[in-house]
Each structure stands twice: as structure tokens, then as C-alpha cells.
A and B are shown apart, each in its own frame.
Chain A
Amino acid sequence: MDLSTMPRGLRSPDLPLCLHCAEYIRTTDVPCPHCGQDPTQPGGRYKDEGFYARDALARLLDAMQRAAAAQPDK
């Protein structure tokens, strides 16, 4: 399939999470419109319900994959 001949569509933007209440916000939202806290500071439900740990693990796995991909062929 030649993608260049396909119709064009818009890609949906990814919204960040408030690192306090774990609800989706706009990148410009300070404070969080849902919980009123600083959305860049981990705390509240984001930490208590395991989202912090899960995201940290995802970032670690991503970094490991990128590092592995950057290695010369063995």
C-alpha cells in the first residue's frame, strides 16, 4: 500500500496528565482545571494509585529500548 496516495487525516494530539489528580489537561493548564494543584508536581492520586510508578517504569523501559536500538549490531 502506497501511503502517499491515501487521503490525509488529522492526528489526534496527546494530552498530558495532571501529575496530581491523574486527569487529562492541556499543556498550558496551570493550575490543573480539575484539582487546582500544580499539574507538574507528582502527588495526590497520581502517586497514591500507582500511576507515578507505572509511568516511571514505562519511561525506564523506553529509555532501555532506545539505548538498545542505539547500540551497534552485535
Chain B
Amino acid sequence: MNDMSAPRILTSEDQEHCVPVYVVWETTLACNLKCGHCGSRAGARRDDELDTPEALELIDQMAALGTREITIIGGEAFLRKDWLRLIERIAGHGILCTMQTGAYGLNEKMLKSALDAGLGGIGVSVDGREDDHDRIRGRKGSFRACLKALRAARDLGMVTSANTQINAISHPHLRAIFDVVADAGISHWQLQWTVAMGNAADNDDVLLQPYLVKPVMDEVAEIFKHAQTIGVTVRPGNNIGYFGKHEVMWRGGEQGGGHYAGCPAGHNAIGIEADGTIKACPSLPKERYSGGNIRDLTLEDMWKTAPGLAFNRQRGTDHLWGHCKGCMYADICHGGCTWTADSLFQRPGNNPYCYYRVDKLEKQGIRERVRKVQEAPDHPFAVGLFEIVEEPI
């Protein structure tokens, strides 16, 4: 039960019958941090967040559809007064409940209560060395709070992971960040690119330029090998792409799947906003990727009939464009993470944050940069518009 990775491994049956194995649930948009790269622009709670009976009923509906893991996020999930009741209900269905947190204000007593309620593990966001982390999270002391929470959770016997966004600030210090979180007792270190959404679209100088994907992932590969020697698993998030020489190492064999198999949004994953909006992925904008609201329709109805959730299930290659069109992995990868591409270009199917692509272009003497051409509006999950600039190396 306490294995954080096993429930998400997809069987053929899961894929062929679109079982919503994994749910990421923004239980509240309230947050005690002010992160410069926050895609949802969290801070104040939404006006119309689900109340406790509505939230509990939603959990029952997820269980009925075959969900095996629910990660509660925010905002900051523990700012909901009923957060322990939600964990208890999730665990009561035999579903692994995990929590993704900034950990500011998360103390040992709260962790013990969460563990007793059935929390299976926590993932703490650590986005840089102490000064960088505190600056980007908008709170002095937030870095130390992360480490304190990780150690407390470890001492309670919880499965702990750290999650780090790779961006222009963090990428030069990845090994130092890893050493600190490994010392705090994590079992997993999950990585993802910072995506051009919300505050990160406003502060676009934080974004990693795509041509740096290759040297950064080459370094991550070295960290991966070192991590194995001390019992820590380095796990690439869904937007860490794709193929190339390291794919077999971090997605093959012991990592559970064979290789990247395309975006699972709406196929085997669901995202939920605190007001009950059901989406294909927690990070996608509701304007284009919503199945409706749980106050109007059942989860089963939306899952089975809503086009906004179904776009990945029978996906071919027609939607691909740019260098993703014609790629040898096009029918497997489908352009990678929908969120990453859509946040840049307001449409999926072209993803410059791809190892194989960067490597291939590099061999042709070309590199890609992204450049903002339109600001994002001031609401949660807002996206601007970027363009790709190709230039000789």
C-alpha cells in the first residue's frame, strides 16, 4: 500500500478501457506561498470550492470508476479544514492517497494525523538551493520548512519524495539540490520542466531554453546513476522528454514501463479543480480541456462522453506539427506532454522540450529557443503565446 509508484503502472486493460487510474485533485486554491512559477496562480481560495459532502461524494465516484491513486494538491491541500477526512475517505476505498505540498506550515503533528488518516506518502516541492527556493516561492524559510517536513515524514515511516522543477534558476544546481533532498531521506526524486503557464508565463525568463534540454538531461543521467547507489529513484515527470540514450535507463526495465508512451491526460488520468471542474489533466486550462463540473454531471457521465476528456484516447498523428510531425516516434509519443505544448502554443502537437529532438537538431547544427509574443491573462492556468526561434549553433 505504501508503494508510491506501483498503482500508476498501466496495464493493457487500463489503456484499452480508459481506466482513470490516477487523479490529481486541487482540493483548494488557497496557498500560503506565492510562487513565481505557479501555473494556477494559487493564493486565495476559489469562491465556490466543493464543500465536504460534495468532495466525499466525488471520492466515491472516483473509486467506482477504478481510480487507484489520488494525489491531493492545492494551492496547499492541508489548508482545507477537512483535508484529513478526504484522506480517510480515499484510503477507505483502498486507493493510495498521496499529497503534493510546499510544506510551509506542515508540522510533525499534522503529518502524524495524515498518516493515521491513511496518507500513503508526500511529495515536497524543492525548487532550488535555499536562497533560490525561498525567492521563487516568495517566502523566507520555505526551503527549511521543506526539509523539516521531509525528515519528519521519513521519521514517521512515510514514503517521501521531492519534486523539483528544472528551469533557468535550478538547472545549474541540480546535483546540489539532489544531495540535500537525498540527505532528508527521500525515496524518489521527481523532475519536470517548468511550464509556461500562469506566473511562469509572466516571468518567462525562468523557463529553460529548449536547447539546454540535452546537457541538463545528460547531467540528470549522472545523478540518476549516483542515486541508484544510495537507494533513491530519480523519476522523470510526464513532461521530461523523450527517448534518446537515457530513455531506457529511467523509463525502461525497473522503472515500470518500457518507454514513454504518450500523454495520459484523459486516457488514464484526471485532473480536478477545487470548484469541481473535471479536466483531462490538473494543469491543462479548463477552456479547452474540461469535461464539465461535478455539480452538473456525474464523473462517469463526463468520463464516458465528454470530448474535452477524450482527445488522447484514439490519438493518431494528425495533430502534430513542427519538428514533431515526421519524427520516428510520432505515433508513440504523440508530441509528448499536452500541457507543455499547449501552454507554449495554445495547441498541442509540437514540443521543443524533447531530448531526441534537441539531439537530432544539434547534429544538424540547429538549436531552438522559445520567445514570448503574447502575455497570459490574469487568471488560474492562463497561457500566453510563444514562438520557436530556430538558430544555427
Q: Tell me, yes or no, whether A binds B.
A: yes
Interface residues of A, Cβ cutoff 8 Å to B: 1, 3, 5-15, 17, 21-24, 26, 33, 45, 51, 54-55, 58
Nearest B residue to A15 via CB reads B259
Whether the Cβ atoms of B247 and A24 lie closer than 8 Å is yes
CA–CA, A7 and B20, complex, Å: 11
Q: In B249-286, which residues have CB < 8 Å from any A CB?
A: 252-254, 258-259, 261-262, 267-268
Residue in A1, A15, A17, A33 whose beta carbon sits within 8 Å of that of B64 in the complex: A1
Nearest B residue to A45 via CB reads B245
Asked whether B229 is an interface residue with its Cβ less than 8 Å from the other chain, the reply is no
Residue in A7, A9, A15, A55 whose beta carbon sits within 8 Å of that of B332 in the complex: A15
Whether the Cβ atoms of A6 and B18 lie closer than 8 Å is yes
Asked whether B93 is an interface residue with its Cβ less than 8 Å from the other chain, the reply is no
Number of inter-chain CB pairs below 8 Å: 74
CA–CA, A22 and B251, complex, Å: 12
Inside 8 A of B313's CB, which chain A residues have their CB? 7-10
Q: How many residues of B contact A (CB 8 A)?
A: 34
- How near does chain A come to B185, taking the closest CB pair, in angstroms? 27
Binds A, one of B8-16, B110-118, B335-343: B8-16
Known contacts being A23-B244, A23-B248, is A3 close to B258, with CB within 8 Å?
A: no
Inside 8 A of B258's CB, which chain A residues have their CB? 14-15
Whether the Cβ atoms of A6 and B243 lie closer than 8 Å is no
Asked whether B366 is an interface residue with its Cβ less than 8 Å from the other chain, the reply is no
Asked whether B136 is an interface residue with its Cβ less than 8 Å from the other chain, the reply is no
- How near does chain A come to B256, taking the closest CB pair, in angstroms? 13
CA–CA, A42 and B15, complex, Å: 31
3 A-B pairs with least C-beta separation: A12-B261, A9-B313, A6-B17
- How near does chain A come to B124, taking the closest CB pair, in angstroms? 31
